């Protein structure tokens, strides 16, 4: 009885195996297995596909891949081993190499906004350097690498920031031989700071006439500079 049952089991198993292989053979009859085209150039893939009776279509854009050199095939559809009919098309996408991110335009913005934008695109903040008198305060002057340079993700970007605004300067006018009242009025109109006048004895000259000044006429002078004059007593 046991032998008869074992025989039945063996018969069923063999019949199932034969049926499976027959089904697979029937399904795959007249089909081709898609070859693995990964890592090949498009030209080589076309030649190989042509020999098998298949077509190649290149789909844009490519894909970022650190494992496949740029220009070689990095992805395909259908996958390798999949059975298709002769004349079918295999769609491929070429490698763009490792992903690259352009340094964003952050010049002219604040340091905080520049840092947010750099991190938003997938880069990291590097060193922060400061200069003075290169524009408005707390404004980004430049980046390193420069704006537009393509970098790998999480590459560091250094930021150069103007810490103090440029000082507004004027050309120092001549105050010599003018009455002190006129010199004071001239400085006030031109937003210059006139310090305490120093009196000097100068016989033969009316009191209150400017004899000497510092800075001298023609020198650059800023709003924060204090102008010193010597007047007759």
Give the total number of structural domains in the chain. Answer: 3
In whole angstroms, give the CA distance from residue 15 to residue 197: 120
Of the residues 98, 128, 153, which one is the last residue of a structural domain? 98
Same domain, 146 and 178: no
Same domain, 57 and 91: yes
Is a pLDDT exceeding 70 seen at residue 30?
no
Same domain, 43 and 92: yes
Percent of the chain with pLDDT over 90: 65
Is a pLDDT exceeding 80 seen at residue 11?
no
Is residue 21 in a domain?
no
The predicted model scores a pTM of 0.47
Is residue 220 in a domain?
yes
Of the residues 98, 115, 146, which one is the last residue of a structural domain? 98
Bridge partners (DSSP) listed for residue 130: 161
**Band of residue 17 on the pLDDT scale cut at 50, 70, 90:** low
Is residue 8 in a domain?
no
Same domain, 109 and 126: yes
Q: Please classify residue 231 by burial: count the beta carbons closer than 10 Å to its beta carbon, then call 0-12 exposed, 13-18 middle and 19+ buried.
A: buried
Is residue 46 in a domain?
yes
Range(s) of the domain holding residue 227: 169-232
Is residue 123 in a domain?
yes
Same domain, 39 and 88: yes
- The CATH number covering residue 148 comes to 3.30.10.20
Is residue 56 in a domain?
yes
Same domain, 83 and 106: no
Same domain, 39 and 89: yes
Please give the mean pLDDT across all residues of the chain.
86
User: What pLDDT is attached to residue 26?
Assistant: 39
Same domain, 176 and 213: yes
Is a pLDDT exceeding 60 seen at residue 212?
yes
Q: What is the DSSP string of the chain?
A: -HHHHHHHHHHHHHHHHHHHHHHHHHHHTTEEEPP--TT--HHHHHHHHHHHT-EEEE-SS-B--SSS-TTSEEEEESPTT-EEETT-EEEEEEB--S--EEPP--TTS-HHHHHHHHHHTT-EEEEEEEEESSSSTTEEEEEESPTT-EE-TT-EEEEEEEEEPPPPEEEPPP-TTSBHHHHHHHHHHTT-EE-PPEEE--TTS-TTBEEEEESPTTSEEETT-EEEEEEE-
Of the residues 77, 98, 119, which one is the last residue of a structural domain? 98
Is residue 118 in a domain?
yes
Tokens of 26: 């029937």
In this structure, the chain runs to a length of 233
Tens digits of residue pLDDT in 134-184: 777 889 999 999 999 999 899 999 999 998 776 778 889 999 999 999 999
Same domain, 36 and 76: yes
């Amino acid at each position: 009885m046991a032998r008869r049952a074992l025989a039945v089991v063996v018969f069923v198993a063999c019949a199932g195996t034969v049926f499976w292989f027959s089904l697979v053979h029937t399904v795959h009859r007249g089909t081709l297995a898609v070859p693995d085209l990964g890592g090949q150039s498009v030209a080589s893939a076309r030649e190989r596909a042509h020999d098998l009776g298949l077509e190649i279509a290149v789909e844009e854009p490519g894909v970022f891949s650190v494992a496949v050199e740029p220009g070689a095939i990095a992805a395909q559809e259908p996958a390798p081993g999949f059975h298709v009919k002769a004349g079918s098309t295999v769609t491929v996408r070429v490698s763009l190499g490792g992903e690259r991110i352009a340094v964003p335009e952050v010049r002219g913005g604040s340091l905080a906004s520049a840092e947010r934008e750099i991190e938003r695109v997938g880069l990291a903040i590097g060193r922060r350097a400061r200069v003075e008198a290169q524009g408005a305060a707390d404004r980004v002057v430049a980046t390193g690498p420069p704006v537009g340079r393509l970098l790998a993700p999480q590459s560091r970007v250094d930021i150069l920031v103007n810490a103090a605004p440029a000082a507004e300067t004027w050309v120092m006018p001549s105050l010599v031989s003018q009455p002190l009242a006129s010199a004071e009025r001239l400085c006030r109109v031109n937003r210059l700071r006139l310090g305490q006048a120093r009196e000097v004895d100068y016989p033969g000259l009316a009191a209150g006439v400017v004899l000497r000044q510092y800075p001298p006429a023609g020198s650059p002078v800023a709003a924060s500079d204090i102008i010193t004059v010597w007047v007759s007593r």
